Amino acid sequence: MSAPKYPEFIWHNGEIVPWAQATTHVMAHALHYGSSVFEGIRSYDTPNGPAIFRLTDHLERLFLSAKIHDISMPFDVDTLAEACRQALRRNGLGRGYLRPIAFRGLGGFGLSADCPTAVSIAAWDMGAYLGAGVLEQGIDACVSSWQRMAPNTIPTGAKAGGNYLSGQLIAREARRLGFGEGIALASTGLLSEGAGENLFLVFKGVLHTTPASAAILNGITRHSLMTLARDNGIEVVERDLPREYLYLCDELFMCGTAAEVTPIRSVDGKPVGTGKPGPVTQRLQELFFGLFSGKTADRYGWLEAVG
């Protein structure tokens, strides 16, 4: 496999440096113990210039993830917001994906060792996360043989590096079996979410999504879609959902910063509804992508200019 084309610059511990200089020691705590917190944020070209979608909300979630794991943050939200803008600007990116990460670096070797926190922000160009054409056609998903973490084990409300061992098991199993993405159940046996996406089911025009207590990450795209739906007269219900509802619903889609709004056309080989993206899914795609084309009003100040 050839290496991706890397960006020229990256923001690293307070300054923009050439990509190759953003290195860390192999004995960094995070590499051994998963002690990092991170975000995935998209920027879009809009009629008013490039804008970052819900930048402040993403950075605030980063600080909350750090709070859960006692990772001290050496920079404040405003500094990291400006750093995100710089990372895009210096790489000449309008549409892009931002990856801020804060991690316990080189310090002590023990589990509870105090280690200095390193912070980096990468920015790169990214198209549809689950492949070309998936936003229009949808993906084939499967229910994973791996469950999400049980309550009071590893908190899924934090976006922490260690959590993504679970996501990797789910996503890699799905890919190995020929599916576009895997859907996980919670330890309760009820639906949780995708490897890196939240889940919405549509029954008779009403949106249903799994609650925060179903071992999900409280997604910012999920919140955005719930808000857009309610503002446009689509009812939204947060509720526990059993697995078989995946096979009974009229429409099904995943959402996340990377996945945006990706329809699911089949689960475990069974078609969802007609097997094609349905009207509610398409309406939400239209409302969501409309934010960036200017067709959907940005009522909540979600677009933050790159400048």
Residue 148 is a binding residue for ligand PMP (CB under 6 A): no
Q: Exactly one of 84, 183, 220, 234 binds ligand PMP (CB under 6 A); which one?
A: 220
- Closer residue to ligand PMP, CB minimum distance, 256 or 273: 256
Q: Exactly one of 9, 28, 36, 40 binds ligand PMP (CB under 6 A); which one?
A: 40
What length is written for the chain? 307
Do the beta carbons of residue 211 and residue 241 sit within 8 Å?
no
- Closer residue to ligand PMP, CB minimum distance, 115 or 267: 267
For strand 191-194 and strand 303-305, is the pairing parallel, antiparallel, or unpaired? unpaired
Residue 221 is a binding residue for ligand PMP (CB under 6 A): yes
Residue 257 is a binding residue for ligand PMP (CB under 6 A): yes
Q: How many Å apart are CA 287 and CA 129, to the nearest integer?
A: 19
Q: How many Å apart are CA 275 and CA 238, to the nearest integer?
A: 24
Residue 43 is a binding residue for ligand PMP (CB under 6 A): no
For the chain, how many helices (H) and strands (E)?
8, 17
Least distance in angstroms from the C-beta of 68 to ligand PMP: 15
Least distance in angstroms from the C-beta of 275 to ligand PMP: 25
Residue 209 is a binding residue for ligand PMP (CB under 6 A): no
Q: Which residues does 301 contact at the CB level (< 8 Å), separation at least 6?
A: none
- Three-state DSSP class for residue 226: helix
C-alpha 117 chain-centroid distance:
22
For strand 260-267 and strand 15-18, is the pairing parallel, antiparallel, or unpaired? unpaired
Residue 100 is a binding residue for ligand PMP (CB under 6 A): no
Touching ligand PMP, residues 165-204 (CB under 6 A): 167, 193, 196-198
Least distance in angstroms from the C-beta of 122 to ligand PMP: 15
Residue 96 is a binding residue for ligand PMP (CB under 6 A): no
Of 219, 294, 306, nearest to 46 (Cα)? 294
Considering CB under 6 A, how many residues would be counted as binding ligand PMP? 15
Residue 117 is a binding residue for ligand PMP (CB under 6 A): no
Q: In the structure encoding, which two tokens stand for residue 247, read together?
A: 């096979």
Adjacent-strand bridge partners of 201: 208, 252
Instruction: Return the active site residues.
Output: 159
Least distance in angstroms from the C-beta of 7 to ligand PMP: 20
Q: Which one of the spans 73-81, 212-220, 226-234, 240-248 is the region binding ligand PMP (CB under 6 A)?
A: 212-220
Q: How many Å apart are CA 192 and CA 213, to the nearest integer?
A: 9
Q: How many Å apart are CA 27 and CA 41, to the nearest integer?
A: 28
- Helix, strand, coil fractions of the chain, as percent rounded to 5: 30, 30, 40
Least distance in angstroms from the C-beta of 170 to ligand PMP: 9
Binding site for ligand PMP (CB under 6 A): 40, 159, 167, 193, 196-198, 216-217, 219-222, 256-257
